[in-house]
Amino acid sequence: MVVFSHLKTRRSHIRVLLLGVLLAHLGTFMVVPLLPIFLKVEKGLSISEIGFILAVSPFTFQISSLLGGWLADLIGRRIILTVGAWLNAAAISGFAFFDQIWMYFLMGLLSGIAVGLSAPSTKAAIATLADQDENKTTVFSLRGIAANAGIVSAGILSYFVLGGASELIFYVAAGLYIMLGFINLFLLPRGCGDAQCKSVPLRSYAEILKNKTFLVFSIVSIFIWALYTQLSISLPLRAEDILPDPSAVSLIWTINAFIVIILQKPISALFIEKMNPMFALAIGMLFIGGGLGSIYFSTNFSWLILSGLIFIIGEMFIMPTMDATISRMATTQMIGVFFGIASFVSGIGEGAGKFIGGQLLSLGTSTSTPWITFALASVIISGMIAWLTFWKPLKNVLSETTRQKRK
């Protein structure tokens, strides 16, 4: 009975975390597809200014994710996730409330801090609670399904109910994050759950720097995230140029998310779980580049949907593989720190990617230069990742994990 009660509690906490993932993506993707359009049309900012504002958030995300991962291991995940949700609520509402460009920069900074606190804590909690499960890739695939269920709901709510890029969308999204904060506060376990929270000695952090496979994987991850983040800025700006109602672009995220809900588990079972993780990432990057490059040929809404579909296939290969690979490299005692560093790395990639992407797109969404650059970059990055498949230290780590899973 004690074992059954423990299992039931563990599973119920995973469900709460997955619900939190759903609500976070619902609130975020009510805003993300429309934010570049809102800032350009309603606030009168230039494309280069928009690119800079969007790039600010990932850079503060870096520092905050390191802090968030450390605090999650030190005092527990519940309070970190609660604070992160409420800070993001303030940042999202600030985009609608303020009219000064310097305030948008501050809101971008605040949003980066909020997401940085939440992301590593959520993933570390899921990885820890799923530690007894046979396949962490499956658990992180469920996380992807929950995230995309939120994205589906976001597109329907923002376009059909709230009517496109308006201030109301920002306030509703902020309200969802406030609700999420209360859910985290009252339904997640105190402290670190079944494990005792521990203060990790500073010398232990030096051990991570000696983890050659994690460091190399992190460097490659910067390039992955730099290219992955281009969709959030390039697709809305292209839609603003070619569509009579650019706010319809939010429906593309809805369609893509619905596809992920249907296909993520089959793709994980049929492909990702049966191949080397580096091959899965390399294949995913080619789809990412193909989706981005095809946006150049877009002249209508249907073609934008097709570009998004190509991109989302790549995402389904990349997302669960990245999280599962990091969890395999991490140690149990410092899993929050590992995911914090991974979030730090993703922030570097996203920040650099959005800044560079903004500069490329400022040349014009009808010119070929941005789209050719994105496509060529995907081929180069895919080749880098494929090379890692034959790198002995990484092969040893993945082989050891595979043997442990079979036992």
Which DSSP string corresponds to 9-22?
HHHHHHHHHHHHHH
Is the pLDDT assigned to residue 147 strictly greater than 70?
yes
Is the pLDDT assigned to residue 133 strictly greater than 60?
no
- Cα-based angle 258, 263, 265 (whole degrees, multiple of 5): 120
| pLDDT (average), residues 160-182 | 87
pLDDT score, position 333: 64
pLDDT score, position 3: 36
The DSSP secondary-structure symbol of 104 reads H
pLDDT category of residue 91 using cuts at 50, 70 and 90: very high
Is the pLDDT assigned to residue 5 strictly greater than 50?
no
pLDDT score, position 199: 63
pLDDT category of residue 400 using cuts at 50, 70 and 90: low
pLDDT category of residue 406 using cuts at 50, 70 and 90: very low
Nearest of 318, 337, 316 to residue 327 by alpha carbon: 337
Is the pLDDT assigned to residue 200 strictly greater than 70?
no
Q: Which CATH class is domain 2-192+204-406?
A: mainly alpha
Q: Which of 3-7, 51-55, 337-341 is the least confident region? A: 3-7
Place of tokens 């989302």: 312
Instruction: Retrieve residue 55's tokens.
Output: 């790039």
What does the alpha-carbon distance between residue 287 and residue 192 come to, in Å, rounded to a whole number?
A: 38
Place of tokens 């959520």: 122
Is the pLDDT assigned to residue 254 strictly greater than 90?
no
| pLDDT (average), residues 307-320 | 94
pLDDT score, position 76: 77
The DSSP secondary-structure symbol of 194 reads T
**Cβ(37)–Cβ(164) under 8 Å?**
no
What does the alpha-carbon distance between residue 209 and residue 228 come to, in Å, rounded to a whole number?
A: 26
pLDDT score, position 337: 73
pLDDT score, position 238: 94
Q: What is the DSSP string of 28-96?
A: HHHHTTTHHHHHHHTS---HHHHHHHHHHHHHHHHHHHHHHHHHHHHH-HHHHHHHHHHHHHHHHHHHH
Pick the more confident residue, 382 or 274: 382
Coil, helix or strand at residue 108: helix
Distances (CA, A) of 98 to 32, 59, 94, 108, 248: 17, 22, 6, 12, 25
| pLDDT (average), residues 354-364 | 91
pLDDT score, position 2: 38
Count how many Cα atoms sit within 13 Å of the Cα of residue 354 in the half-sphere of its side chain: 22
Instruction: Retrieve residue 11's tokens.
Output: 């599973």
Contacts of 328 (CB under 8 A, 6+ apart): 136, 397, 398, 401
Percent of the chain with pLDDT over 70: 87
| pLDDT (average), residues 179-195 | 82
Q: Which of 60-64, 174-178, 312-316 is the least confident region? A: 60-64
| pLDDT (average), residues 331-339 | 71
